[in-house]
């Protein structure tokens, strides 16, 4: 149990330290340059989309005014943009296992608060997207983390408006799932608050590698009404959480549907539902002890299902999200499916419920305040011997973004954010709650 916790803690730190203040881009000045529209036309406060921008995206990055194909652009136009953010941040974790005598692990360890701060940069996102031809769009995004690792975040081609119908659009490649509350267009950037816990939550001891917010590899069929009030998508994805250069012998399925409706004087409201059903292997064929990719066996299933809503009331809006997650008992305990005797007594498939409420106040297109309260609560652990609420998460985030310039050429935002999060029972030595907090401020450049 102690090892499992340490392992989990290490992964958490890895995520925080590496991905931590990282920015994944989805605010594209190249589009603003192409169409001579300001950022505020498509984004409530970039990168968060408004419905005009969402419809533009659904149309395959086209305005449908007859001038979308690249031949209407000046030959010197190339759809490329960059996003990066120099910042200052402060991170604090209240329970880190620290050698009592520095440099002498034999003297034993104790839990201690570690606080670090300093200047930093997020990674650099390079993004090229647009139309190859009328009704053929694409996106390629190599992202460079702030430690210099390059990874392909997005890479897809989309055939838009098949059979002249906006209800049929086919996207193939590596892409973000059709989440209207998109993690790649979120307003929060700090290590603690900068991602949706629900989009990455895995119970303690669970080996299912999956995140709703991770970009997946596969094909998506998507459709929308003329103003994107009605939207649906169905995707078939690799069962490997979007890992490139690795085969898989099974596929996951994702479906999403949402409907918008107008409440007079308040604005556009939207409700939606989604479900991700997938499977993961519990063991592989091996060669010299090393697993051979693509040979996964003993597949067991998992799911993430829920509803969400986007509620607009004048300048104020709420995003609400609920998720019910469940993993198979073998996945939840990290046991091979052909060795059920290794399951702990009373083992069960872990289930949990989570959600968040995120509020925004868009004072004007150049100033937005945001706040989010998020939680994930285990309802059943994979191993009944574990405490019932181990791994429960609660995170509060608050901040604002001010955009001193708003043009159709480039973007700049001054960003300040504070987040505090508690994970139940994961302190490495005492099993008490682990509390981290982040403070971040910096200049978010997009050009």
Partner 1 sequence: MIKGRSVALALLVTWLISSSLFSFAQESKIADLSGNAKAGKALYRRYCITCHGVHGDGAGENAPHVDPKPRDFTKATFKCRSTPSGDLPTDSDLYDTISRGIYNSAMPSWRPLTRQQRADLVAYIKTFSPRFHEEPPVASIVIPPEPPTSAESVKRGEALFQSLNCWSCHGKEGRANGPSALTLTDSKGYPILPFDFTKAPHFKCGETPRDVFKDLSTGLDGTPMPSFADSMKPDQIWDVVHYIQTFAESDRSFFHRAKSEGKLQ
The single residue among 161, 169, 208, 437 that binds partner 1, judged by CB under 8 A, is 161
Q: Name the residue nearer to partner 1 (CB basis): 112 or 227.
A: 227
Secondary structure string (H, E, C) spanning 177-243: CCCCCCHHHCCCCCCCCCCCHHHCCCCCCCCCCCCCCCCEEEEEEEEECCCCCEEEEEEEEECCCCC
CA distance 9 to 124: 27
CB of 268 to partner 1, least distance (A): 5
Q: Which residues pair with 119 in a beta bridge?
A: 88
Residues whose CB falls within 8 Å of the CB of residue 75, separated by 6 or more in sequence, listed in order: none
Q: Name the residue nearer to partner 1 (CB basis): 1 or 266.
A: 266
| Residue 227 touching partner 1 (CB under 8 A) | yes
Stretch that binds partner 1, among 121-129, 158-166, 170-178, 297-305 (CB under 8 A): 158-166
Pick out residues in 166-195 that bind partner 1 (CB under 8 A). Answer: 166
Q: Is the dihedral of CA 106, 110, 116, 120 positive or negative?
A: positive
Q: Name the residue nearer to partner 1 (CB basis): 163 or 341.
A: 163
| Residue 267 touching partner 1 (CB under 8 A) | yes
The single residue among 262, 285, 338, 389 that binds partner 1, judged by CB under 8 A, is 262
| Residue 35 touching partner 1 (CB under 8 A) | yes
| Residue 407 touching partner 1 (CB under 8 A) | yes
Instruction: Evaluate the omega torsion of the peptide bond into residue 47 and state whether it is cis, within 30 degrees of 0.
Output: yes
CA distance 324 to 334: 20
CA distance 307 to 254: 14
Residues whose CB falls within 8 Å of the CB of residue 220, separated by 6 or more in sequence, listed in order: 170, 171, 172, 175, 178, 233, 234, 235, 236
The single residue among 6, 52, 273, 337 that binds partner 1, judged by CB under 8 A, is 52
The single residue among 1, 67, 291, 430 that binds partner 1, judged by CB under 8 A, is 67
CB of 74 to partner 1, least distance (A): 10
The single residue among 8, 40, 137, 333 that binds partner 1, judged by CB under 8 A, is 40
The single residue among 55, 198, 258, 437 that binds partner 1, judged by CB under 8 A, is 55
Stretch that binds partner 1, among 32-40, 98-106, 140-148, 249-257 (CB under 8 A): 32-40
| Residue 65 touching partner 1 (CB under 8 A) | yes
| Residue 416 touching partner 1 (CB under 8 A) | no
Stretch that binds partner 1, among 23-31, 107-115, 150-158, 257-265 (CB under 8 A): 257-265
Cα Dmax for the chain: 73
The single residue among 2, 147, 265, 287 that binds partner 1, judged by CB under 8 A, is 265
CA distance 213 to 205: 20
Q: Name the residue nearer to partner 1 (CB basis): 232 or 361.
A: 361
Stretch that binds partner 1, among 93-101, 169-177, 226-234, 297-305 (CB under 8 A): 226-234
442 within 8 A of 188, measured Cβ to Cβ: no
CB of 363 to partner 1, least distance (A): 9
Pick out residues in 361-380 that bind partner 1 (CB under 8 A). Answer: 361, 364-365
Q: Name the residue nearer to partner 1 (CB basis): 222 or 237.
A: 222
209 within 8 A of 302, measured Cβ to Cβ: no
369 sits in the region (left: phi over 0; alpha: psi -120 to 50; else beta) called beta
CB of 73 to partner 1, least distance (A): 11
CB of 344 to partner 1, least distance (A): 41
Query: C-alpha dihedral over 361, 364, 368, 373, to 10 degrees?
Result: 10
Buried b (16+ CB within 10 A) or exposed e, 139-157: bbbebbbbeeeeeebbbbe
Stretch that binds partner 1, among 87-95, 160-168, 193-201, 207-215 (CB under 8 A): 160-168
* Complete DSSP assignment for 43-99: EEETTEE-HHHHHHHHTTS---SS--SGGGS-TT---EEEEE-EEEEEEEEEEEEEE
Q: Name the residue nearer to partner 1 (CB basis): 267 or 431.
A: 267
Of 240, 184, 237, nearest to 209 by C-alpha is 240
368 within 8 A of 374, measured Cβ to Cβ: no
Q: Name the residue nearer to partner 1 (CB basis): 267 or 298.
A: 267
The single residue among 301, 408, 432, 435 that binds partner 1, judged by CB under 8 A, is 408
The residue to which tokens 């629900």 are assigned: 198
- Binding site residues, partner 1, CB under 8 A: 35-38, 40-41, 50-52, 54-55, 63-67, 161, 164-166, 226-228, 262, 264-268, 313-316, 359, 361, 364-365, 407-408
């Amino acid at each position: 149990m102690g090892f499992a916790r340490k392992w989990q803690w290490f992964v958490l730190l890895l995520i925080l330290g590496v991905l931590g203040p990282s920015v994944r881009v989805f605010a594209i000045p190249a589009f603003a340059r192409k169409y001579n529209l300001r950022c505020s036309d498509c984004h409530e406060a970039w990168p968060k989309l408004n419905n005009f921008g969402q419809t533009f995206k659904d149309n395959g990055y086209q305005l449908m005014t007859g001038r979308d194909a690249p031949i209407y652009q000046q030959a010197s136009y190339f759809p490329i943009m960059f996003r990066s953010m120099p910042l200052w941040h402060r991170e604090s974790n209240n329970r880190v296992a620290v050698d009592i005598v520095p440099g002498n692990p034999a003297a034993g360890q104790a839990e201690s608060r570690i606080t670090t701060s300093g200047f930093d940069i997020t990674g650099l996102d390079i993004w090229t997207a647009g139309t190859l031809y009328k009704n053929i769009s694409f996106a390629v995004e190599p992202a460079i983390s702030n430690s210099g690792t390059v990874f392909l975040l997005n890479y897809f081609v989309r055939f838009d408006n098949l059979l002249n119908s906006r209800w049929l659009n086919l996207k193939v490649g590596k892409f973000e799932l059709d989440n209207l509350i998109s993690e790649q267009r979120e307003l929060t950037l700090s290590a603690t608050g900068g991602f949706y816990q629900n989009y990455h939550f895995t119970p303690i001891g669970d080996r299912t590698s999956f995140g709703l917010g991770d970009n997946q590899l596969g094909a998506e069929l998507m459709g929308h009404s003329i103003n994107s009030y009605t939207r649906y998508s169905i995707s078939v994805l690799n069962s490997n959480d979007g890992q490139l250069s690795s085969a898989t012998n099974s596929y996951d399925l994702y479906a999403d549907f949402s409907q918008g409706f107008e409440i007079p004087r308040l604005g556009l409201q939207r409700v939606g539902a989604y479900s991700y059903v997938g499977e993961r292997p519990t063991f592989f064929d091996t060669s010299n002890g090393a697993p051979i990719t693509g040979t996964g066996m003993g597949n067991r299933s998992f799911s993430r299902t829920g509803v969400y809503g986007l509620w607009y009331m004048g300048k104020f809006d709420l995003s609400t999200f609920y998720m019910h997650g469940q993993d198979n008992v073998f996945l939840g305990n990290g046991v091979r499916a052909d060795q059920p005797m290794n399951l702990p007594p009373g083992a069960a498939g872990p289930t949990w419920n989570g959600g968040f409420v995120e509020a925004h106040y868009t004072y004007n297109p150049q100033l937005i305040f945001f706040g989010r309260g998020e939680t994930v609560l285990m309802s059943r652990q994979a191993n009944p011997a574990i405490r019932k609420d181990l791994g429960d998460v609660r995170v509060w985030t608050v901040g604002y973004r001010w955009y001193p310039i708003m043009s159709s050429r480039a973007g700049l935002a001054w960003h300040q954010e504070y987040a505090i999060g508690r994970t139940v029972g994961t302190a490495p030595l005492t099993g008490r709650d682990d509390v981290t907090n982040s403070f971040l401020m910096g200049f978010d450049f997009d050009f």
